[in-house]
A and B are shown apart, each in its own frame.
Chain A
Amino acid sequence: MTDNMLTDAAGRIFADRCDKALLDAAERGEFPDALWRTLRDNGFHELAMPDSGVALADAFAVIGLAGRHAIPAPLPEALLANRWIGRSDRLVTIGQVLDRRIVEAPWARQADLVLGLDSARGAYVLVERVGDGAPALECGHNMAGEPRDAVPVPEGADWVPLLEPAFAYLALARAVATAGCLSRVLELSLLYASEREQFGRPIARFQAIQHALAVMAGEVAAAGRAADAAVDALDGDRFEFEVAVAKARVGEAAGVVAEIAHQVHGAMGYTHEHQLHHFTRRAWAWRDEYGSETFWQRRLGSHLAARGADGLWEFLATRG
């Protein structure tokens, strides 16, 4: 499948199968079974597997589209977990290991398998969630109402070495999804401003609104370009620094874009009934997952300080 065929198909499925009712239901804790079956039937959970025939960059493009449509299922996690543990039709999700618990795992309550990532150890652990002896589960959620659950790491669990920078992959997944999400927020805002009338004309006619939307467009464009560049660097030796650039820049854009979008939408965008918050809350939540702006800025900044002033431009002046 070429890049375009894949993303066209993904975009169609996401648009057809995900609407406000589904997002509201997911937020009440109902897993989107029908949507997930469709995704699995179409092989989306296998896209990042080494033998999928799809470039990893294209798998990230699908993650971007999932962000654009706020798909309420752990697609990035399933996709990457299958890459690392081998093909599985069971629902597998990923969390981070913290004090012998796997935390912040999307939909662990629903998953058959939970992969616990321990970046410091450079290894992961797999926890079965089915059958007898399933470990105690703690349900939680992020500020977008997306399930973020925790399970204990069992005593004597096997640690499997990670062969790839998994934390950076997941940070990139968040950055790419956020960039997609922000492009949707811009479109919603453009549409709303052109339809909403005050003082006898669409508010899009007012210069104050036009300038706010122009600022938003700049941030959305920057977020998209930063995320794309990190995806392009997947095979390179500076991948983690490009992820730092992307996660930091996209995170900064997320705050600006969400703020302007709500101002443009007025009180209407502050209601639960309007769909805007499904996207803005995700942008706010995702910028803190897998490293906030500050986390990645420090990582990048300490590297640049170590390189020294004369190495700064050399670092920035890349070909791609």
Chain B
Amino acid sequence: MPCAVLQFDRIALPEETETLRAEVRQFLVDNAEHLTRPNSDFTTGHDPAFSRKLGQRGWIGMTWPKCYGGGERSFFERYVVTEELLAAGAPVSAHWIADRQSGNLILGVGSDAQRERYLPAIARGESYFSIGMSEPNSGSDLASVRTRAERVDGGWLINGTKLWSTDAHRNHFMIALVRTEPPSDNRHAGFSQIIVDLREDGAVVRPIRNMAGGEDFNEVVFDNVLVPEDRVVGEPGNGWQQVTGELAYERSGPERFLSAFRVFVELVRVAAADARQDHPDPALQAAIGRLAAHLATLRRMSISVAGMLEEGKSPEVEAALVKAVGNDFEKLLPEVARLAADSSVAALPHFGVFRQALADTLLLSPSFTIRGGTREILRGVIARGLGLR
């Protein structure tokens, strides 16, 4: 029988986050040299110097304990920092995955030694992680991954290939999901997560050029790559449960609906010029209102999920829903903007900047509904949450 409708509680950000928000905005003004070509997509700017500055401010690993370099701050405070950075189009790609999920995984299930070794460097903005989940023949069907790690003298011997690992050619570590036991009737059993040092362990990293011309994602080949014993995160064999536990962090954040935000900003810049004319275009105004109504609502849904994380819950289904609705909005935004700002406003100031932002985002947009769980996988998760599967 189907169960109740999903709930997104009315949660307001605590008042003290306003001070923090003002600090982040001032920081972005003071560091404008890092924002020469702003883009709200979280994968587009890899800037270690900027990440280190964030680390110095205590804005990476914000929710972690102080003994591991964290700030012991709330998920709401982290939320405010991340959304301000994305909205401004800051280059956050270098530390993003480490801050969002790798660090949380290590904190949650890693050993004390691993926490001490990896977390403080992440929090300083010096150590960057990539995700090692997909493979050439395993995308949405993650349980079919075939990369395996065998226990040998001196550690684990890894063989296989990981694919679509964003920034693996620039980052320091990957947390790879591997088979440590042969497949059995329980297809979710026998997985482990292993930290690979992408610069030292001998994995071969090959960037893959995307259709937009960027080289962000990679193929990572493991040919008898030996890593030390102490690289397994959590219990060997428990990898599947750990991976699915990361998903609420991975899927509900503001990066799941702000990827196209720069286009919106530039659209409003054009509309502001239009509004100073005698007969402002009502269709352009309606398009802006439509996008704002979507965005304001998605943001509140996302904050509801942050509130559930703050309460220690694991809102996997709600997170999938925010990502599904948010990704669809990220694709709607450039389409609505394009049709609203057509040739009738082409002579206005800033139109060229708008068209460039539109082109940049449109070329990235196919990835929005694929990365971090495809639209189809997310709808399946939601359907399960509704009691249909």
Contact = CB atoms under 8 A, between A and B. Distances in A.
A316 B289 contact: no
Interface in A171-221: 183, 186-187, 190-191, 193-194, 204-205, 207, 209-211, 213-215, 217-221
Nearest to B302: A225
- Among A226, A252, A309, max chain B CB count under 10 A is at A309
A230 to B, nearest CB: 10
A301 to B, nearest CB: 3
A312 B264 contact: yes
A104 interface: no
A228 B10 contact: yes
Interface in B65-117: 83-84, 87-88
A261 interface: no
B10 A319 contact: no
B32 interface: no
A190 B13 contact: no
B296 A245 contact: yes
Interface residues of B, number: 62
Interface stretch (B131-139, B155-163, B187-195, B269-277): B269-277
Contact of A304 (B21, B289, B325): B289
A218 B287 contact: no
A300 B383 contact: no
A232 interface: yes
Contact of A229 (B268, B297, B382): B297
A133 interface: no
A114 B371 CA distance: 56
B380 interface: yes
A245 B285 contact: no
B6 A217 contact: yes
Nearest to A192: B2
A313 B293 contact: no
Q: Which of B296, B301, B321 counts the most chain A CB atoms within 10 A?
A: B296
A228 to B, nearest CB: 5
A100 to B, nearest CB: 28
A222 B297 contact: yes
B388 A193 contact: yes
B243 interface: no
Contact of A300 (B14, B293, B304): B293
A80 B284 CA distance: 34
B268 A312 contact: yes
A166 to B, nearest CB: 21
Interface of B: 1-2, 5-6, 8, 10, 12-15, 17-18, 21, 83-84, 87-88, 261, 264-266, 268-269, 271-272, 274-275, 280, 282, 284-290, 292-301, 304, 321, 324-325, 328, 376, 378-380, 382-383, 385-389
The 7 closest A-B pairs by CB, nearest first: A297-B289, A301-B289, A190-B2, A301-B285, A300-B289, A301-B288, A210-B383
21 contacts: A187-B2, A194-B1, A207-B380, A211-B376, A214-B383, A224-B8, A245-B296, A246-B293, A248-B293, A297-B290, A305-B271, A305-B285, A306-B275, A312-B265, A313-B88, A313-B265, A316-B292, A317-B83, A317-B84, A317-B87, A320-B10
Interface of A: 183, 186-187, 190-191, 193-194, 204-205, 207, 209-211, 213-215, 217-222, 224-226, 228-229, 232, 244-246, 248-249, 252, 293-294, 296-302, 304-309, 312-313, 315-320
